[in-house]
Structure 1
Amino acid sequence: RLFDVIASATALFLLSPLFLMIALLITIESKGPAIYRSKRVGTGYKVFNFYKFRSMYVSADKELGNLAAFNQYTLTEDKKPVFTKIVNDPRITKVGQFIRNTSIDELPQLFNILLGDMSFVGNRPLPVYEAELLTSNEWSMRFLGPAGLTGLWQITKRGKKEMSETERKELDNYYSQKHSFFLDMKIILKTFPALIQNEKV
């Protein structure tokens, strides 16, 4: 926890000029706040306010239901998917595409880390509607581990084919059982090359 506090506070201070520049670009391109806030579920099913730079138009949440057929996980799983990732999402702005490809949109989560909602490494906090589908004994284990900015499933298939929903859930459970300082350092070291190579992690 001490590492999280010191590292997140330092990063927020050093990156403050970048925060201001990105916020300005977002508000110039499209109407709405620069920061997108949503309810996410983390460790122990704790619900908290989750922060990202806004990468979509402000009406994006209302349009999600119309894009279900384009969900990546719908294309790889026979049953109704838990997770949502829209292929070639039309709701994303031009600035949003850039900050997503470089993962800059995730930087406001440094505030979540500083507040103790998340750690640098862990299972990704989920939207409430996704977490509600993962309450069975088989998959609820993922919520026993820390919630994080980056994690095991994000770096496992870097540069390879898309990950199936089952693979992602299994990796979340594995991390919850096996997480350690050394595993976290390994994940962090693999995350940086992914960012440099413009991989979506």
Structure 2
Amino acid sequence: MTPLEANSRISQHKSISLLCSAPSFEAELLPKIIAHFSVHAEPDIEGLDDYLKDQSIYTLPDVIILEVDEHGHCFEYIDKLKQNVLLKGLVIILLAKKKDAKVRETAMRYKVNDLYISPIPLDDLCERIFFLVKFKLFKPQLSDLSNVDFTYKIPFTKRLFDIIASGLALLFLSPFFLIVAIIIAFESKGPVIFKSKRVGTGYRVFDFYKFRSMRTGASEELANLSELNQYDKSETGSTTFVKLKNDPRITKFGHFIRNYSIDELPQLFNVLIGDMSLVGNRPLPLYEAEMLTSNEWSMRFLGPAGLTGLWQVTRRGKAEMSERERKKLDNFYAQNHSFWLDIKILLKTLPAAVQKEKV
């Protein structure tokens, strides 16, 4: 091989990104793979998982190298990766300290791409990585995602709880709904209920209901008010989410029902008919969802859509909140939602519903 060919080969390898968590092998492994690939190392699976959650569809690693631990936690994590539509195609290579038939059998069952036993043949490993990435062509493309079934199958207990809770709430709050509707109708012209298209789980579009808190025609004024957006633009120069400070389009009574989240109550109808759940990631307006679909962080749409969620009870209404924080909270919930997490969020929702900031 000529020096020019060698340099070309190294350049090809450097375009391949590796995510590594193999502490027992780092001393011998890292110097070799860093010389050939773009490498990010984490000390354990938890760090590796946190790193992956922070990536977009365009910054996912090409290969994950994991050490086989004595308790088999690596296989539990591989199973988790295989269940995620955005991550299940990653090339996974395992490193083991000793030969073990059970480990090899388990690796085959989980369809791991390769398993190396100590001492690791480093040159062979590097060539194997290059081969797998070149021929597997695994990375999910946005065009591929349109053909994936993103349907969120809500657990029976969660759906039953949604129906009972939303039905009882609507029955109990109906007199209050009538009073709010009368005040809105008297204060300004226009429909009492504001209906807009929102994007929920799996990019499903549905009609989203709120008590109208703005003057008629407010949507058309949004483009001229971008300087009031509360989301920090410093990271990218632009922002996906929109939430305005001191929004001039809001009516006097609109400020009151927004401060106490009363304007959100008609979404109980959305919960009752199954458009969304009581707890989940907030459905997004079409213009926000379109930016997320065409760019990054589409993972948030792989979990349930909801009336309240992790973002609402942790960061909502805080002026210093960044777009990145919002995205990370949404992605975390999509990956880790459970019945008990939902209960914790619901218990924190009432205190969080009263906003301190005018957003």
Whether TM exceeds 0.5 here: the answer is: yes
Aligned residue in 1 for 2:313 = 155
**What secondary structure sits across from 1:110 in the alignment?**
helix
Aligned residue in 2 for 1:58 = 216
Deviation per CA, 1:2-30: give whole Å up to 9, x if none: 11011111111110001000000001000
Greater shift in the superposed pair: 90-99 or 151-160:
151-160
Are positions 1:24 and 2:164 aligned together?
Answer: no
* Aligned equivalent of 2:231, options 73, 93, 96: 73
1:199 positional shift: 4.6
Identity %: 69
Aligned residue in 1 for 2:13 = none
Deviation per CA, 1:155-200: give whole Å up to 9, x if none: 11368553100110011000000000111111111112223x5457
**Partner Cα distance (1:68, 1:104) in 2:** 25
Amino acid at match of 2:351: P
Structure 1 residues 97-136: aligned runs within 5 Å: 97-135=255-293
**What secondary structure sits across from 1:72 in the alignment?**
coil
Amino acid at match of 1:64: L
* Aligned equivalent of 1:15, options 169, 173, 184: 173
**Partner Cα distance (1:162, 1:99) in 2:** 23
Are positions 1:189 and 2:347 aligned together?
Answer: yes
Aligned residue in 2 for 1:165 = 323
Aligned residue in 2 for 1:175 = 333
**What secondary structure sits across from 1:91 in the alignment?**
coil
1:154 positional shift: 1.3
Deviation per CA, 1:123-145: give whole Å up to 9, x if none: 00000110001125841110010
Amino acid at match of 2:312: Q
Report which of the two structures shows the higher radius of gyration computed on alpha carbons. 2
**Partner Cα distance (2:333, 2:234) in 1:** 23
1:75 positional shift: 5.3
**What secondary structure sits across from 2:231 in the alignment?**
helix
Greater shift in the superposed pair: 137-146 or 80-89:
137-146
Aligned residue in 1 for 2:80 = none
- TM-score w.r.t. the length of structure 1 is 0.93
Amino acid at match of 2:181: A
Residues 69 and 190 of structure 1: CA distance in aligned 2, closer, same or farther (over 3 Å) = same
Between Structure 1 and Structure 2, how many residues are aligned?
Answer: 200
Amino acid at match of 2:315: K
Alignment check: 8 A CA contact 1:158 1:199 kept: no
Gaps of 5+ in 1: none
Gaps of 5+ in 2: 1-158
Are positions 1:89 and 2:285 aligned together?
Answer: no
1:70 positional shift: 1.3
Alignment check: 8 A CA contact 2:312 2:352 kept: no
Residues 32 and 6 of structure 1: CA distance in aligned 2, closer, same or farther (over 3 Å) = same
Q: Indicate the RMSD between aligned Cα atoms, in angstroms.
A: 1.8
- TM-score w.r.t. the length of structure 2 is 0.53
Residues 177 and 84 of structure 1: CA distance in aligned 2, closer, same or farther (over 3 Å) = same
Are positions 1:47 and 2:192 aligned together?
Answer: no
